[in-house]
Every structure is written in structure tokens, then in C-alpha cells.
Chain A
Amino acid sequence: MLKIEGLRAEIEGKEILKGIDLEVPTGEIHAIMGPNGSGKSTLSYVLSGREGYEITGGSATFNGQDLLAMEPEERAATGLFLAFQYPVELPGVGNANFLRTALNAQRRAKGESELDAMQFLKLARERMRALSMPEDMLKRGVNVGFSGGEKKRNEVLQMALLKPSLAILDETDSGLDIDALKIVADGVNAMRGPDFSSLVITHYQRLLDYIVPDRVHVLMQGRIVQSGGPELAKQLEASGYASVEAA
């Protein structure tokens, strides 16, 4: 279970998260919606350990472990995965090499044997087929020259390979065409199970037609201001965030 209590964080002296309380029980998928600049990405970065944020209060634990005390790679090894809103380009680093290095780093951390190049390729090809990704994307530099949609699919491919127990998807649906949206949603739904939980950050109810969330939370100005079932997303789609503020 992911448990966030009274979490406060600032960047460059500016408070962005102003006391977040949120629980995602194991096996559930929760959606987070909220206006631009409300702190959704900030929350995902703080949970995954990006530098530059000062935690000024509160706590965040995952299955009882203090996330905030760990290095980013340690959080990854405990099963936390972040699909970036803006996936980063690594020029000259082959995608296959990157994926295998990451996968093996995590396998090592878990005391599992590393995959050799052949074993890895077999696995990667299988997962790519499921995501309708052309195989040449393995050879290209990580995200280099990828279209917006290809980058997002590459994030989902990484998730499918790394098999996290907690996945934070930061606007993974933005920039996807209808078919891609469905493919990506299938990718997430395939992970669904008693040991998998997810925080899905999105601006669009549309995604939630495919990935039906257990709970929906509204993040505004650094606080969760409303929570509800899937119907909350539909309501927001109809009347916008103004209605929440009024509430």
C-alpha cells in the first residue's frame, strides 16, 4: 500500500505540495486529475526521488518502507515505476541496451539472475508486439527522435518489462491517438492484479473509460480537494474544476 500523509514539498523556496493525504491500497488503481500547475508531476517526482525538491513535512511509505529516505534507484528496486510526462532522450544510448541495463539492475537488486542479450531480446520482442511497437525502436537511441506517442509507448514498454508493483503514470495518455490510447490502456490493464497498484495522472476522462479506476482524486493547488468513484471523473469532464472549487 502507498500511504501519503501531510506531504509538503517545495522547489526553489516555493511551496508546491501543501499537505497531501492519499492512500492507494495494494491491488487498486487510483486516478489523479487536476488543473495545470496544481502539483501532479511534482507529487510523482517527490515520490520517485528526484533531486531539487525539499520535503518540508509529512511522510510517504510504500508497503511500510519510508520512500523519502531512499535513493531513486532503491525506490525503483522496491517496485516503484514512473512513466514520465516528458520522457527523456539519451542520445547514443541504444534503447535495447538501456532497457536491458535497467532490467538487469533491478533483477540484481532483487537477487535474481541477469538476462543475457538473447533472453532479453526474446522478452522485449514479445512485449513490443503486444504494444504494436515496431522492432527498430529497440535499436534507436532512447527516445531520440521518437514521436510524442512513441515516447509514451516506450514508457509503457519499460513498465511491462520491469513489472513494477506501483506504477505512477504521468499523463501517459496525452498525445496518443485513439488506437494507441487503447493499446496503452491494455498494457496497464494487463498488469492489474492483487500485487499491482497504480496512480494514473490524467486530464481526460476518456482514458478512464479504458482503465477504470477504483478511486478518483482531484489535486488543486497542492492539496487533494475531492475524492470519489469513477463517476467523479465524468462529473469533472462535464463541469470543469470550477464546480470543485465551489464545493
Chain B
Amino acid sequence: MPAVTETIDTVAAVTSGTYKYGFETEIEMEFAPKGLNEDIVRFISAKKNEPDWLLAWRLKAFAMWKTMEEPHWPAVSYPQIDYQDAYYYAAPVKKQGPRSLDEVDPELLRTYEKLGIPLKEQAILAGVEGAGESPAEGRMPIAVDAVFDSVSVATSYKERLGKEGIIFCSISEAVQEHPELVRQYLGSVVPQGDNFFAALNSAVFTDGSFVYIPKGVRCPMELSTYFRINAKSTGQFERTLIIADEGATVSYLEGCTAPMRDENQLHAAVVELVALDDASIKYSTVQNWYPGDENGVGGIYNFVTKRGACRGKRSKISWTQVETGSSITWKYPSCILQGDDSVGEFYSVAITNNRQQADTGTKMIHIGRNTRSTIVSKGISAGKGQNTYRGLVKILPKASGARNFTQCDSLLIGDQCGAHTVPYIENRCISAKVEHEATTSRIAEDQLFYCRQRGLSEEDAVGLIVNGFCREVLKELPMEFAVEAQKLLQISLEGSVG
């Protein structure tokens, strides 16, 4: 069983209204001064010993950001964010090369433990020398790259992957070791000035993951990253870049948790995927950031730009997301279907309970011929939650034979929540076919009673029915992740009935 599953097994024990990951780790941290200006951008770049081109790239992004405004079109509302009142760089103080777990900062280990990461992986994550050589017995190897605040603490299984020519490391490391690849692809899918949050991220990103799968290689294991916001008042700006070269295949998992705090924290990540001819990338997210309490105090602002470019012929990018956390989610994992016969998929479950708000969906841009896209979105609203699906299907004139199928289903629990569906369709090609289906339903009283008559508690009954509602999406997740997601769905809805 991989770390993620064990993590969630522990979560299952949680009672209503509590957030399992609401702990804070006290380790020595190094901060840049609060606030954001050109000097901070330079400081970050210098700290990371970056080449000049990257500093220039960041400064350009910063200059663009200064002229931009936060988007106001999403159906979410929140108080003004003070960008000068946050730290943009926080990293655990490095104690070089521990040789065993005893030498690792015990606070750090305790954090991993609370996250449910098994000892073997803990050792790898903490950078214990030699710990990553062989996978722990009896479990499918999963390569984990833990992002602890801004700095990737360690990367596991690197050597094993290295044998296949696969590069899986932190983006900072990639900048040092593979600058040509980073320079070629960074910002090629999400340019610096793409949007307000992407510009901010481009200026100040501190870490994230980098994956390169060489031609014809099928990545032998799931690649996985834990992102974890820990330090107080720290924004997290990871930057992830995944490149699948011709004929390559990779499945990438991203899981998130964050400590519980009364103040809101900003998470503005950028994820870029590039698939060349016949390549396939599957990107799965289970997002469980702290959602705030039942009165809407605290929680993560999850403003994320995720986009994949199907550059090659017959390439495929598939996004699967289960969004249960964050106080506000604003994200639209998208596909640019440029190569002929390329395929884009978006499978999403978004839950909003209490006062959570989610405005999420996707963009499928059909450029190449016979490009196909599938969108399956399941929105669940409970409590006073607001859930908006916002999607764009755009078919350009040359995309003859393009096809899209969109299905948006909303499930309402209680009568104080809301579900909204905003599909935009721009079809500029007569031979293209676009289908859209949408439903809104409630959990029926007879369904609940049927389950309870069989002995299920009301909450278990809701969990079962909701999982059934999401089945089409959950089955897209890698097995181990699916189990986690199912449990999370149920936990997220605790207290929503009765």
C-alpha cells in the first residue's frame, strides 16, 4: 500500500468538523523578507543559483504581473488579498546528508508520520543516503517527490528511473542539471503573462516537480508528489513541468494537504504538460487542502493554472481531479489539441461543503484534425457550498472531424447550497460535433431510507450514494488513489445531512 492510501486510512478515523492535516511542523526555516518586489524575485533566483536567462524570465513575469489585475469573472468571492503581506520564500534549513533516520530533524519525520508516509519512504524523503535504492517490500513502487514548503526535500527512486532515462526531480534541480530542457519547455504551454496568478507564479515559483520521459519509454511506475504548505503566511507557488517525448507514457499523481489556520493562504501553482507524437500523459490530482471551518474562516485559496499541450499527432492528455478541499478553488485544467488525432480528457469531481466555493472546469481547444475531447464533471454541493462548472470547448476552423462530448452532473445535498453550469461552446468548423448533457439532482429520500433500512448510518448512506454518483470519474483514478478519493469524499461531506 502506498503512502497516500495509508494516509487516508488514518483520515477515516476523523470525526465531523475536524481536519486531519491541521498540524504545523516546527522546523528551522529560512525566510525571505515579507512582501513582493523585484529584489525578492532576485533573492529567490540567487538562492537557487539560477542562470541569468531564468532570472530575466522571472523579472519579465514580475513586470507583467504588476500591470495585471486579479480576475473577477469566477463565481467566487473573497476579501482582497494583500500580496505584500506574505512570504515568498521559506525553506527548511538544510542539514547536509543525514546517513540514517536518527540524524533527520525529528520534527520533519513527525510530519511525514502524520501524513501517513511509511518509514521507508520517510527515509527516502528525508534524503537518507542509500534509502532509495530498493523499493519497500510488498508494495508497488511509487516514486515520491515531496515538496515541503518551497523546497523539494528529496526525490526517491531517482536512480531506478534514471536507468530508463527518465528524469524525475525538483524543478530547481532540473534547472541546474537539465537547463536545455527547462529552457525549451518552461512557459511554452502557460506563458508568463497568461493570467494574473500564472504571472505571479512565474515570478516567484520556488519549487515543484520536473518530469521528462524519453522517446518510446513507458514509465514503469506512477510518479507522485506531495505538496504541503507548512510555514505560516507562506504562499505556495509550485511549478510543475512534465514532458512526454514521442511514444512515451506516464501517469502522474498529485496529492495535497495543508495545516489548519484561521487566515487564508494562497496557493497559485502552474502545471504544464507537453505530449509529443503518440505520447500519453495521465495527470491525477486529489486535492484536500484545508477548506476552512464551517463558518468559512481560514482555508486555502487554490488558484491554479494547469494546461496540457497535445503537440504531437495521436498524443493524449488526461486530467482527473478530485477536489474536496480549499476554501476557494479556481482551476481549469485544459488541453490544447494541436496534433492531428490527439485526445484530451477531463474527469472531475468537485465537492463544496460548509462555505466552500469552487469554480472549476476545463478548456478543450481543438486545433488539429480529428481531435477528440471528453469532459465528465461531477459537482457536489452541500451545506452553504457553491459549485460552478465552467467549461470552454473551442473548435478552430481547421479541426475537421473534431468531436467533443461533455457531461456535467450536479448533486445537491440540502437546500442552502448552489450548483451552476456555465458551458461555453465556440464551434468554427462545420464537420465538428459537440454534445453537451447536464443534469441536476438531489439525493432522494427513498435512496437514503433504502440504505438505512439495510443498516447503513445516514452518513455512510450519503457517502455511498455520492461515490456512486462520481463513479465514472473515480474509475479513471489509479487504483490506490481511488480508494483514498472515496474516503475523502465521504469525510468531506460529514455533517452535511441530518
Number of A-B contacts (CB under 8 A): 78
Instruction: For residue B482, give the distance in angstroms from its CB to the closest CB of chain A.
Output: 12
CB distance from A186 to the nearest CB of B (A): 22
A76 touches B (CB below 8 Å): yes
A52, A77, A90, A91: the one within 8 Å of B455 (CB): A77
Q: Which of B445, B452, B469, B472 contacts A76 (CB 8 A)?
A: B452
A158-B470 in contact given A52-B445, A72-B449, A90-B465 (Cβ < 8 Å): no
- With a cutoff of 8 Å between Cβ atoms, the chain A residues found around residue B467 in the complex are 92-93
B451 contacts across to A, CB distance below 8 A = 90, 98, 102
A2 within 8 A of B: no
- Residues in A123-163 with C-beta less than 8 Å from chain B: 141, 158, 162
Number of interface residues of A (CB under 8 A): 32
Stretch in contact with the other chain, from A27-35, A81-89, A196-204: A81-89
Cβ contacts A to B, 7 pairs, < 8 Å: A50-B449, A88-B450, A93-B468, A93-B471, A98-B451, A109-B455, A162-B455
Q: Which residue of A lies closest to B454 (CB)?
A: A102
The answer, yes or no, to whether A114 is at the interface (CB within 8 Å) is: no
Q: B457, A73: Cβ atoms under 8 Å?
A: yes
| CB contact list, B439-473 vs A, under 8 A | 444-447, 449-458, 460, 464-465, 467-472
Q: Please give me the residue from chain B that is nearest to A141 by CB atom.
A: B468
Say yes or no for A59: interface residue by CB 8 A criterion. Answer: no
Q: How far is the CA of A141 from the CA of B471 in the complex (A)?
A: 10
CA–CA, A87 and B451, complex, Å: 11
Q: Is the CB of A105 within 8 A of B453?
A: no
8 Å CB interface, A38-63 against B? 48-52
Name B456's closest neighbour in chain A (CB-CB): A105
Q: How far is the CB of B489 from chain A (nearest CB, A)?
A: 12
Determine whether the beta carbon of A71 is less than 8 Å from that of B460: no
User: Which of B455, B464, B470 has the most chain A CB atoms closer than 10 A to its own CB?
Assistant: B455
**In the complex, A101→B451 CA distance in Å?**
10
Q: Using CB atoms and an 8 Å cutoff, list the residues of chain A in contact with chain B.
A: 48-52, 71-73, 75-77, 81-82, 84, 87-93, 97-98, 101-103, 105-106, 109, 141, 158, 162
Interface size on B, residues (CB 8 A): 23
Q: Which residues of B contact A (CB under 8 A)?
A: 444-447, 449-458, 460, 464-465, 467-472
Whether the Cβ atoms of A72 and B465 lie closer than 8 Å is no
Contacts of A141 in B (CB 8 A): 468
Q: How many angstroms from the CA of A90 to the CA of B443 in the assembled complex?
A: 10
State the CA gap A172–B349 with chains docked (Å): 37
Complex CA distance for A121 and B458, rounded to whole angstroms: 25
Establish whether residues A101 and B464, one from each chain, have CB atoms under 8 Å apart when the complex forms: yes
Q: Max chain A CB contacts within 10 Å: which of B444, B451, B457?
A: B451
Residues of B within 8 A of A72 (CB): 449, 452-453
Q: Is the CB of B457 within 8 A of A105?
A: yes
Which residues of B are found within 8 Å of A77, using beta-carbon distances?
A: 455
Lowest 4 A-B CB distances belong to which pairs?
A: A92-B468, A93-B468, A92-B471, A102-B454
Is there contact, CB below 8 Å, between B445 and A51?
yes
Most chain A beta-carbon contacts within 10 A, residue among B453, B465, B467, B468: B453
A103 neighbours in B (Cβ, 8 Å): 455
Contact of B450 among A75, A87, A162 (CB under 8 A): A87
Residues A101 and B452 in contact, CB atoms below 8 Å apart:
no
